Amino acid sequence: MTISRRGLMAATAAAPVLMRVQDALAQGVTPRRGGTLATILTPEPPVLQIGVNNQGPTIVAATKMFQGLLTFTPKLEPIPLLAKSWTVSPDKREYTFRLQENVKFHDGRPMTADDVIFSIMRFHMDLAPRARAIFQMIETATAPDPHTVRLVLKQPFEPFLLMLDASASAIVPKHLFDGQDFRTAPAVQRPVGTGPFRFAEWQRGNFIRLERFDDYWKPGQPYLDAIIYRIIPDSQSRRLAIETGQAQLTQANDIEPFDVPQLRSRPNLEVQTTGWEYFAPLSWIELNHRVKPLDDMRVRQAMSMAIDRNFIAQRLWFGIGKPATNPIASTTRFHDATVKLAARDLRAAAALLDAAGLRPDAQGTRFTIKHLVLPYGEIWSRLGEYLRQSLRQIGIAVELESTDAGSWARRVANWEYETTLNFVYQYGDPTLGVERTYVSTNIQKVTFANTGGYSNPRVDELFARARTAVTPEDRQAAFSEVQKILVQEVPQIWLMEMTFPTIHDRRLRNVITTGLGVHSSFDDVFLAS
Amino acid sequence: MREFWRRYKRNKGAVVGLVILLLVILLALLAPVLFPGSPWDMVAAPFVPPGEMGMLLGADSLGRDVAAGIAHGARISLLVGAVSTAAALLLGVTLGALAGYLGGLADDAVMRFTEFFQTIPSFVLAILLVAIFTPSIGSVVFAIAVVSWPPVARVVRAEFLSLRSREFVQAAEVLGKSRLSIMVGDILPNALSPIVVLSSLMVATAILLESALSFLGLGDPNLMTWGYLIGSGRSVIRLAWWMSVFPGIAIFLTVLALNLVGEGLSDALNPRLARQRGGAA
């Protein structure tokens, strides 16, 4: 039994890490030691301890200091990181990880299996709802020796490995947290991890400086001496910083989509939109099914047919992102490319509304609905205006309502809206990031739950089957069927597979090498001369 | 009336202002004829420069006609200016008249209340009110009226204070007229000229306030206004300057026209002042 498990040992994935360095060599560029990377962080995070805070900016900066057992390729295949290899038992319940042996925390103490078990079973379990939901499935976590961790699940859970990235379960030092309140421990203010960069200085409202960690476990790495995250609240100043070379890298929300075309034309800058495959945010018009006539499938189909998703992706987002084709983003696992939303067709949309008994009145209006504008910046207001004009064409009058971010979250969580816009991360697997929006068991008064109130027993059943199915083939079958049903019933009107522009100086190499993009450790990033 | 017009005419700037103002009003009235359909309609390709594809003043980021936006926006801007000024006048004149005529405790109470509003920066208060009552045309008008009435109250109080002791008021009192009828029928008509001048300037201020609120995204999301046009063009100003420049010119001209008209009214209604000014120049 043990032998067969060892036989399954995934010695596969050491290759990509080496290959990246080799790729660079192949291009004639030897990684160069030295140099400071100046970049930007927007908005300023409250703390840099993953777990205590898991918002976007925290994860961007903290992943340079903290690492997970694994990370993922753009196709979401696992790459070893702190775990150098792993095996899965034939019944898919036991995961055994061999850890790297010479890993030190920034305070000089070695990282062992105890730290891994503490991080997963106590730290993230306590602090992060997303981690808790999954790690609750772990029956036992044991350390047969200081460099081996064995996790036994209560039942097979095929997407389990996806939860072991630094963004979901970074390994933290047990000796600095055990026996303390995790949120107020001194280490939260001076983060200590195993990553290639250690915390040096944080002037609030000004900059965060991380320094090279000389005892990093990969010999010769990292290449950079330091990374400085500057806090620049104004988007036009951020754009100037990258244009003038004061910053060599921008990411996530730093640069507004409308500024991207001009930055693309600069010869010294490179614009990339990859590196969001793991998060894969999908945006949609969120419909409240309790509001008539949005409970009628034909009405939802008609609304979906009235929208030009290409216009949204090309004209509003300037090509940063692409039209959604179904509820699972094309970079997420189990996306079925053969299942597609009905194409734009105003005549068919009008016919569907006629069939639903919604005839136009003298002004050509079939019915009026309210739309709560997503208060996340100008581009979302423009999208709201675009949708109002699009739906007007098929006789649906949309009344826009403005609100602030806090009220938006409260009203959506309390189902006090008719339609709004929303975008949700998929975390690589439909069970982790898609299921929650459509299953009736998750109809809750919480944001990012099934707030629309869609309910279909067959959909519930298929998501449940995909959750517990052991093989990827069985899961694919269930997810393909669920995509067909959802595309037919259009519970939410999917708009765009979102991504964010990563803009960097061409001399900066290896910025995006994994499916987590700028949320990687940057131990192989270097500044060519 | 003819005398009034003769005096108004003497101020050339005021005549120009009046012409511009009438043109803006004409534009607002004719907007549905000149630009039929909704100003929100996407009628061209996004970012069409002025003069191309039949877009006189260019198209915005969604391909909406900027000229149509300015014409339809004129309706909203003028409407907001007029209605909020009317509301502010109603409140300001009533309170100012009571304070000035009654004096004593009532005067103290009203003036302390007025000062309370005057000490708060008016734009901040307007933002706060609109944010609390959620942005809509009603809340914007309300907010502008609330921050604009205190100067009216002070001016009216001063007029009433000085007029109250005049002989014609004393005569009216001796005749046994009621206080209300003295205030409305005898004093108010004599206090009207500064109110008229002030109100033309208030309309200008109200248009600016509304534009500033819309610029910040606190306007009614269902109505096209000049401030909204500038606000939505701000972020792409290096890509499409026409989106913010033309609405900006519209606001500039309208506010300038209202100020010129205000000055002309002031000259026409206070001939002595005008003559002094003319003599000095």
In tens, the pLDDT along B55-70 reads 889 898 888 999 999 9
pLDDT tens track for A448-460:
889 999 999 999 9
Which residue in A460, A445, A446 sits closest to A491, CA to CA? A460
C-alpha triplet A422, A254, A239: angle, nearest 5°: 135
**Shortest Cα–Cα distance, A393 to chain B (Å):** 10
pLDDT tens sequence across A154-179: 999 999 999 999 999 999 999 999 99
A389 vs B62: CB contact, 8 Å cut-off? yes
Does A262 sit within 8 Å of B239, measured CB to CB?
yes
Q: Are strands A249-250 and A493-497 parallel, antiparallel or unpaired?
A: unpaired
Q: Which residue has the higher pLDDT, A236 or B123?
A: B123
* Least CB–CB distance from A382: residue in B38, B62, B239: B62
Cβ-Cβ contacts under 8 Å, A310 against chain B:
none
Q: Is the pLDDT of residue A6 over 70?
A: no
Tell if the CB–CB gap between A258 and B235 is shorter than 8 Å.
yes
| Closest chain A C-alpha to B124 CA, distance in angstroms | 17
Through-space distance between the first and last CA atoms of chain A, rounded to whole angstroms: 53
A217 confidence band (pLDDT: 50, 70, 90) = very high
Whole-number pLDDT of residue B276: 59
Residue A140 pLDDT > 80, yes or no? yes
Question: Rounded to a whole number, what is the distance in Å from the CA of B134 to chain A's nearest CA?
Answer: 7
The residue of chain A with its CA nearest to that of B218 is A402
Q: Map residue A481 onto helix, strand or coil.
A: helix
Distances (CA, A) of A53 to A107, A427, A447, A464, B198: 22, 17, 17, 30, 55
Per the CB < 8 A criterion, the answer to whether B218 and B210 are in contact is no
pLDDT at A20: 54
**B residues 131-150 near A, CB within 8 Å?**
131, 134-135
Q: What is the distance in angstroms between the Cα of A300 and the nearest Cα belonging to chain B?
A: 23
Query: What are residue B15's phi and psi, to 5 degrees?
Result: -65, -45
pLDDT at B237 over 80: yes
Q: What percent of chain A has pLDDT over 90?
A: 85
CATH superfamily label, A5-65+195-276+500-526 = Periplasmic binding protein-like II (3.40.190.10)
- SS3 of A348-398: the string is HHHHHHHHCCCCCCCCCCCEEEEEECCCCCHHHHHHHHHHHHHHHCCCEEE
Alpha-carbon distances of B235 from A245, B13, B61, B84, B262, rounded to whole Å: 21, 35, 10, 29, 34
Between A504 and B221, residue with greater pLDDT:
A504
Q: Is A399 on the interface with B (CB under 8 A)?
A: yes
Q: pLDDT band for position A506 (50/70/90)?
A: very high
Check: CB of residue A399 under 8 Å from CB of residue A430. no
- Is A491 in contact with A287 (CB distance < 8 Å)? yes
Give A312's DSSP letter: I
Report chain B's C-alpha Rg in angstroms.
22
What pTM did the predictor assign? Answer: 0.84
Chain-chain contact of A258 with B218 (C-beta, under 8 angstroms): no
Could you tell me the pLDDT band of residue A18, with boundaries at 50, 70 and 90? very low
Whether A5-65+195-276+500-526 and A282-498 share one fold: the answer is: no
Q: How many CB atoms neighbour CB B2 within 10 A?
A: 6
In angstroms, what CA-CA distances link B260 with A6, B21, B86, B248?
A: 89, 10, 20, 18
Cβ–Cβ below 8 Å for B40 and A385: yes
Share of chain B above pLDDT 70, in %: 96
The amino acid present at A258, given as its one-letter code, is F
- Contact between A73 and A515 (Cβ < 8 Å): yes
Q: State whether the Cα torsion B123-B125-B127-B129 is positive or negative.
A: negative
Torsion, Cα B93 B96 B98 B103, to 10 degrees, reads -160
Show residues of chain A in contact with B63, CB under 8 Å: 315
**Is residue A327's pLDDT more than 50?**
yes
Largest CA distance in chain B: 74
Give me chain B's average pLDDT, please.
90
Mean of pLDDT values over B22-46: 91
Chosen for mutation from B222, B225, B234, B243 (greatest number of chain A CBs closer than 10 Å) is: B222
pLDDT at A13 over 70: no
CATH architecture of A282-498: Roll (3.10)
H/E segment holding residue A480: helix A472-489
Domain residue extents for chain A: 5-65+195-276+500-526, 70-177, 282-498
Is A382 in contact with B217 (Cβ distance < 8 A)? no
Q: Which token pair is B16? A: 């120009």
Please say whether the beta carbons of A15 and A88 come within 8 A: no
Architecture, CATH, for domain A70-177: Alpha-Beta Complex (3.90)
Chain A neighbors of B134, CB-CB under 8 A: 401-403
